[in-house]
Amino acid sequence: MSGAASRPLGKLRLIQHKAEAFWFYRYLSIVYDKIVNPGHWTEDMREDALKPAQLTSPDLDVVDVGGGTGFCTLGIVKAGVRPEKIVLMDQSPHQLEKARAKKGLEGVTIMEGDAEDLPFETDSKDRYVSAGSIEYWPDPQRGICEAYRVVKPGGIACCIGPVHPTFPLSRIFADLWMLFPTEEEYIEWFTKAGFEDVKITRIGPWWYHGVRRHGLIMGCSVTGRKPEAGLPKLQLGPKEEKQATKKDSSALNILRKCLILGTLGGFYYFLVPVYMFLKHLLISPIALFWKDAHKKLM
């Protein structure tokens, strides 16, 4: 049985759903490119993550869902897709403001939109890409079904996102903050939607040396191919997410709006790559020294 069945996806996470994410990025957008990408989403990781999407033609119609400040979109442009063929979509106007200011994205269509209700026709896109967005979707399965719907037959959807930690303390902070799916959950969501050739490519900062027990904010690239035209195999009912209002004063919604507590989880994950980098600087030379010393003694 996959992790999707054993771990409740609807459990309380302080900065997961749309209202919380909107206000979280209202402020994080100011420094996002300077403090998030260097530790969690480097250019090398971006290239590794986009490679399975097979961005092999300049004329591919590509949508980047939850594209934020456009870091991933820049990678799509770098891969050779013409900017005029790319749509960057996000729910945060503050993130999109940063994207519009980037010269490398000139010609890209930049728009607000909902990942679970895409404003595109069925079978209209050659490629669907979403990086660092699924962790904020109230219903990930719905978002993946939307990816299936808009992709053309033979087209590829690529979802890049977090992986759930196994280290107990990291798991606590991850679940406090936002959704960290397991690899099994990704595969299940893609398969249920109807995708074939579903594959996972693991990614991570080079200085982690493959360590994944803390989880990774950008930990894997999941791809699937749409086998035939039409709607996804899994038909879902109407969206159930409740939009928070000023009049809603229930204890649950007050807690979910507590961005300070939720940000603690995010701050922990800001420190994890710093810890891993310092560990690399300290331990790698020592390990190399002992390896050389061992060789000399042999």
Separation between Cα atoms, residue 182 and residue 188, nearest integer Å: 10
pLDDT of residue 30: 57
Segment holding 282, helix H or strand E: helix 259-297
- Give CA–CA dist 158/163, Å, rounded: 15
185 pLDDT above the threshold of 60 = yes
Whole-number Å distance between alpha carbons of 102 and 22: 21
Strands 196-202 and 151-163: unpaired
Per-residue pLDDT at 193: 98
Model confidence at 1, pLDDT cuts 50, 70, 90, reads: very low
- Annotate 11-32 with DSSP letters as a single string: S--TT-SHHHHHHHHHHHTTTH
Number of domains the chain is built from: 1
Q: What is the pLDDT of residue 11?
A: 62
With contact defined as beta carbons under 8 Å apart, do 88 and 105 qualify?
yes
261's tokens? 């507590």
- Indicate the burial class of 45 (C-beta count within 10 angstroms; 0-12, 13-18, 19 or more): buried
CATH code for the domain of 115: 3.40.50.150
Percentage, residues of the chain above pLDDT 70: 75
For residue 259, name the pLDDT band (cuts at 50, 70, 90): low
- In this prediction, residues 197-204 reach a mean pLDDT of 97
Which residue reads 């922990």 in tokens?
268
Q: Determine phi and psi for 222, rounding to 5 degrees.
A: -110, 130
Over range 52-79, report the average pLDDT: 97
Question: Can you give the pLDDT at residue 39?
Answer: 72
Q: What is the mean pLDDT of residues 219-237?
A: 95
- Give the 3-state secondary structure of residue 247: coil
The whole-number average pLDDT for the span 106-120 is: 97
From the list 95, 42, 29, the residue with the least C-alpha distance to 66 is: 95
Higher pLDDT, 249 or 223: 223
Question: Could you give the CA distance from residue 107 to residue 190 in angstroms, rounded to a whole number?
Answer: 31
Range of the domain at 22: 3-236+245-297
Spacing of C-alpha 247 from chain mean position:
32
**For residue 116, what are its two tokens?**
């679970």
- From CA 188, how far away is CA 141, in angstroms rounded? 9
C-alpha–C-alpha distance, residues 298 and 290, integer Å: 12
Query: Who's near 83: CB < 8 A, 6+ residues apart?
Result: 77, 105, 106, 107, 108
On whether the CB atoms of residues 53 and 158 are closer than 8 A, the answer is: yes
Q: Are strands 196-202 and 216-225 parallel, antiparallel or unpaired?
A: antiparallel
What sign has the CA pseudo-torsion 42, 24, 174, 51? negative
